[in-house]
Structure 1
Amino acid sequence: MTTTLNSFETAGAANLEEAITEAITEARTTCELNGSDSANCAVAWDIVEELQAEKSDQQQAKAKKNSLENYCDRHPASVECLIYDV
């Protein structure tokens, strides 16, 4: 198997859907070549599952932001959004 989860992690949030599609394609190919009971097949589908979980986590994180967090995303230099280490 040529692809690892680390190569998909560098894709970024914008390309996460593409990474999932590529991982599914590669998992199917891996399973066809090595058999559906092989360790490589299981690893390939684990990668797909991890990517889908990451997408779900990102969607949930966006939905849970409060109004201050949304404001700070748009205006990070605002006084209300500054964080000081004491």
Structure 2
Amino acid sequence: MTNTQEKTNNIEEQIQDEIQEARNVCDISGNNSAECAAAWDAVEELQAEASHQRQTKPKNSLEQYCDANPDADECRVYED
């Protein structure tokens, strides 16, 4: 499993946990309470982060190599 897949799985678990927590908070404090709204805001933030992570394209082998070896000839960047 790649690092990106692990992050996605982890954030999906966090989202599910936060949804359950938001439901519990809203049951206790009421659907119109500030606590309920804050709990659902936390869910929305996690969902936005998950969406952002899915949009990030994985690095190809050259990009990974250059990250590990920035001084290599293959990784030189020339400016016009």
Is TM (by shorter chain) over 0.5?
Answer: yes
Higher RCO (C-alpha 8 Å, min separation 6): 2
Aligned length in residues: 66
Query: For residues 1-80 of structure 1, what are the structure 2 equivalents within 5 Å?
Result: 13=7, 14-62=9-57, 69-71=59-61, 72-73=63-64, 75=65, 76-78=67-69, 79=72, 80=74
Q: 1:82 to 1:36 in 2, by over 3 A?
A: farther
Between Structure 1 and Structure 2, the one with more helix by share is: 2
In 2, Cα distance between equivalents of 1:82 and 1:51: 37
What are structure 1's unaligned runs of at least 5 residues?
1-11
- Max Rg structure: 2
What are structure 2's unaligned runs of at least 5 residues?
1-5
Q: Tell me the secondary structure at the aligned position of residue 58 of structure 1.
A: helix
Structural RMSD (CA): 2.3
